[in-house]
Structure 1
Amino acid sequence: MPRHNLTKLFAFFFALLTPIAGKTASTLDGQNLYDHYPWSLAYFYGKTVSDPLVRIFMGQIHHWPEHIQSVELAKTLDQDNFLRRFLSPVVGVVQLAGNVTYRVGSNQDNIAEFDPYLIFRWANMPWNRYLNTSLALAEGVSYASSIPSIEMRNNTNTKRLLNYLMFEATFAMPSHPELQLFARIHHRSGAYGLYRAGNTGSNDIGVGIKYLFA
């Protein structure tokens, strides 16, 4: 998708959703926001890169001829949920999520991908009154209808079912914290042999838009 079309899409969603935002949202931030609006729907557009995670975090990014588009549905676990209570000293928000992803590349057939995972989110940032922010890490599994070409470039022992990791940062205006823009890394890998796959994997980086609702 061309960059200018993606910008227009974000502008359209802002115009569409802002008028229906609840008045109470402006008083919510941090963990309370996700308890008040436990559901979320997100759209993500990412470009595949040929670099491993460590190099991506160092800013070394080289594009691979592939892009992905994802639709994600997530649900925040209740405060009395066992897993959330167990993790509460470390993580404030725990979410159950899944996405459907479509991969399009110039040197492969189009690929469908399904990723169920748990999201661990830190949302109580001291600057939320100026810019509502959260940071998240997700862990789960990823199944692809066929193996992406980037995962086969240096390895023949590849698998459709791999480990899934996601790193995300969300940003929203304090007046409408339920409407968020986010940056994300979408990662598939063999998890050092856990999935009986070789040293294979793929990384996609991009941006998206997310809407929280009750």
Structure 2
Amino acid sequence: MILNRNLKLFHQKPNKILVFLSIGFLFGMFPLRDLQSVSVPKENWNLVLYGGIFTTTDLIPIVFRQKTDYKDSYIGSLGISRPLNYRIRWFDFLWEGNVTKHFGEMNHWEVNGFYIVKIDRMYGSPFSLSLGEGLSLASENPKLENKAKGYYLDGLQKDAIESRALLNYMMVEFSSYLPFERKTELFIRVHHRSGIFGLYCPPDPNCGSNFISYGFRTAF
């Protein structure tokens, strides 16, 4: 695997601050007068297929330090995506829906729907960077998202992490078009479910999961 090892820093306060500052800096780069929607042609529907492995490492260490700590839990995902008919400067917008099957230590189904902002073909290269945000609904409370934490007292577990079937969905993706055609992309994606600091489940630490995933997307 390309990315390798650990996942809990995303819900610690310094990293929350870093994320919000980064978002603020990103939007601060563009004056409001530059954020104009321009019409772009709708392309074909895309088929999305990928598989991944569970990691206990948080999102921030995965993306910025390439650290992971894997478990024997896997996903296979089949979905469709389609571009929206507008863009803001060099940001393209899409939507995607997928159905995901878990196997290994977890054995349930998951449905995800989300919007994507994409920097397509960065600097004229075949490489693209995408960020997705939406909702994720599992067919049951995912076992590996329920983590024992704290201490034991007379057989009672204190401060356990209890997840939920419905959580926020987020994905970070790096992709590349095939060199001999322009309709197929290979990608590496972090498939991320999150309670968003207590919005969906009790915080400190938050519930959720990450899967390091590899797949392709092609027009049809």
TM-score band (shorter)?
Answer: 0.7 to 0.9
Give the aligned partner of residue 145 of structure 1: 139
- Is the 1:151–1:158 contact (alpha carbons within 8 Å) kept by the matching residues of 2? yes
Structure 1: gaps (5+ residues): 1-33
- The alpha-carbon deviation at position 124 of structure 1 amounts to 4.0
Q: TM-score, normalised by structure 2?
A: 0.70
Matched, 1:134 2:128: yes
Could you give the per-residue CA deviations for residues 6-40 of structure 1, whole angstroms, max 9, x where no partner exists? Answer: xxxxxxxxxxxxxxxxxxxxxxxxxxxx8463421
Could you tell me the percent identity over the aligned residues? 32
Structure 2 distance, partners of 1:197, 1:42, is: 33
Pair 1:204 & 2:201 matched: no
Distance in 1 (alpha carbons) for counterparts of 2:133 and 2:211: 15
Alpha-carbon distance in 1 for matches of 2:207, 2:147: 9
1 or 2 for the larger relative contact order (CA 8 Å, sep ≥6)? 1
Q: Which of 62, 68, 72 is the aligned partner of 1:56?
A: 62
Contact 2:42 2:85 in 1 (8 A): no
Shift of residue 156 of structure 1? Answer: 4.1
Letter in 1 for 2:135: V
Aligned equivalent of 1:46:
52
2:92 is the counterpart of 1:93 = yes
Query: Would the aligned equivalents of 2:42 and 2:83 in 1 still touch at CA under 8 Å?
Result: no
Residues 99 and 188 from structure 1, CA distance in 2 versus in 1: closer, same or farther, beyond 3 angstroms? same
Once residues 42 and 54 of structure 1 are traced to their aligned partners in structure 2, the CA distance between those partners, rounded to angstroms, is 25
- Alpha carbons 2:178, 2:186 under 8 Å: kept: no
Deviation at 1:206, TM superposition (A): 1.8
1:108-156 residue CA offsets vs partner (Å, 9 max, x unmatched): 4x1100001001101142242xxx1211000000000012221002334
Q: Which position in structure 2 is the counterpart of 1:116?
A: 113
* Alpha-carbon separation, structure 2, partners of 1:64 and 1:140: 25
In 2, the alpha carbon distance for the partners of 1:64 and 1:92 equals: 35
Are the counterparts in 2 of residues 103 and 112 from structure 1 also a CA contact under 8 Å? Answer: yes
| Number of residue pairs aligned between Structure 1 and Structure 2 | 167
Structure 2 CA distance for aligned equivalents of residues 113 and 211 of structure 1: 22
Structure 1 segments of 4 or more deviating over 2 A? 34-38, 154-157
8 Å contact 1:137–1:167 — kept in the other structure? yes
Matched residue SS, 2:116: strand
Q: Identify which range, 139-148 or 57-66, moves more after superposition.
A: 57-66
The 1-side partners of 2:98 and 2:215 are apart by: 13
Unpaired runs of 5+ in structure 2?
1-39, 149-159
TM-score in terms of structure 1 length:
0.72
Give the aligned residue type for 1:177. R
Offset, 1:195: 1.5
Instruction: Please say if residues 38 and 77 of structure 1, whose CA atoms lie closer than 8 Å, have aligned partners that are also in contact.
Output: no
Tell me the alpha carbon deviations over residues 49-94 of structure 1, each in whole angstroms, 9 at most, x when there is no partner: 1111122121221111200010121111113xxxx4xxx14x5211
Question: What's the counterpart of residue 125 of structure 1?
Answer: 122
Alignment RMSD (CA, Å)? 1.8
Amino acid at match of 1:92: F
**Higher share in helix:** 1
Rounded to whole Å, the distance in 2 between the matches of 1:156 and 1:207 is 28
CA contact (8 A) 2:145 2:162 kept: no
Determine the structure 2 residue equivalent to 1:163.
168
Matches within 5 A, 1:62-77: 62-77=69-84
CA distance in 2, matches of 1:205, 1:69: 11
Q: Aligned equivalents of 1:92 and 1:60: distance in 2?
A: 28
